[in-house]
A and B are shown apart, each in its own frame.
Chain A
Amino acid sequence: MRLLHAEALVLVRGGRLLFEGIDLHLDAGEALHVTGPNGCGKSSLLRLAAGLLRPSAGHIEHGGVALADDHLALDRELPLGQALAFWKGDTADGMSAMGIVHLADVPVRLLSTGQQRRARLARVIASRAPLWLLDEPLNGLDADGAGRLTKAIATHRKVGGAVLAASHQPLAADWRQLELGA
């Protein structure tokens, strides 16, 4: 089953050509690692795949997606459990996958940077969306967090999901590679 299909994508932002002629295909169980220098359009490519930006040319089709980018998108004054529950999905599953169940009653504003990183990934895991879009997913995670994420991604791919990640850090060996700005 095809979860993301894009042909001949061109993106111009602020009068600057970020990339052109990008083809993207992600089937169930696949994972794609987007690499490239700073400012080459990795995050913009993820936002295109999420439907938040429109391509300047080319066309893109996708089903349900979940995005973890720089923004936390959780209400700071609420306990983490409630804040995550606003986004529906299987909150308990997401929290246990990222090992933050014990933080459920802690207000989001008191979480450390690393804990916030785990929380945004927990939201993606809880969403049950078939396509995960992860922007620098390993940033700010400790070894335990990175291990948990790797495990969650493996489980997600096994049950027919796909992952598109932009990262400067190496990901697992069975990921396809796409280099932007090369």
Chain B
Amino acid sequence: MTGALVTREVRRALHGAAWLPAIFFLLVATLVPFAVGPDAKLLARIAGGTLWIAALTAALLPIERLIEPDRADGVLDQLAIAGTSEEAIGVAKIAGHWLTFGPLLLLAALPGSFLLGLEGRSIVAPLTALAIGTPALAALAVAVAALTAGLPRSGALGGLLLMPLAIPLLIFGAAAAGGEGAGPLKLEAAIALLILAAAPFVTGAAIRAART
């Protein structure tokens, strides 16, 4: 069932607005040179952090469509009746969400990096940091979506909940994107793994709690 669920997530995202976070990401990256000015050196210096802020805010957009529609339509109930554990639903949701979120965001990060004055080999570090960070961002989005499913104004609430949780990832991700060597990258990877490991359990518990 988990495989079918991943396929379903991807199909629904592609049918809907999978490109939205990537476009939003690119838009934020475009706005920064307007706000900061055309100083290429300054832009290149803040590029890593800017890309991360853009990725983090882009990760907020899909939260409302990740869990709530399936809760409201009884899909989560029917999955439970069919014997799928809530944690397995969490894993499938995270995998399915990342497949339509991560690659598109990384694709958008290429022109995004150029807009921020990065060129040549200097775009490798931020892209690597984002590549390691996007699975964790997808996992956080799914967990937060499960925690806020069914609540009024869940979209705004989800944003308030996700951003503080993403701070450790942001700190090391942005440091790694700034090309500060292997240390921050390893710490970023460790935090991403931790988030990925915990998110399915948080998601599962939240789905169960929403039933009572």
Contacts and interface: CB of A to CB of B under 8 A. Distances in A.
A71 B77 contact: yes
A71 B8 CA distance: 18
A69 B81 contact: no
Contacts of A50: 77, 81
B15 A52 contact: no
B73 A66 contact: no
Contacts of B8: 75, 86
A67 B77 contact: yes
A86 B4 contact: yes
A72 interface: yes
Contacts of B73: 71-74
B78 A53 contact: no
Contact of B82 (A70, A75, A77, A87): A87
B153 interface: no
Contacts, number: 45
Interface in A52-102: 52-54, 65-67, 69-75, 77, 86-88
A69 B80 contact: no
A52 B78 CA distance: 9
Nearest to B7: A86
Contacts of B211: 47, 52-53
Interface string B180-212: 000000000000000000000000000000011
24 contacts: A13-B212, A50-B77, A51-B80, A52-B77, A52-B81, A52-B211, A53-B211, A54-B212, A66-B81, A67-B77, A67-B78, A67-B81, A69-B74, A69-B77, A71-B72, A72-B73, A72-B74, A73-B73, A73-B74, A73-B75, A77-B12, A86-B4, A87-B78, A123-B78
Interface of B: 4, 8, 12, 15, 72-75, 77-78, 80-82, 211-212
Name the 9 nearest CB pairs between A and B, nearest first.
Answer: A71-B74, A73-B74, A73-B78, A73-B75, A71-B73, A50-B81, A52-B77, A73-B73, A67-B81
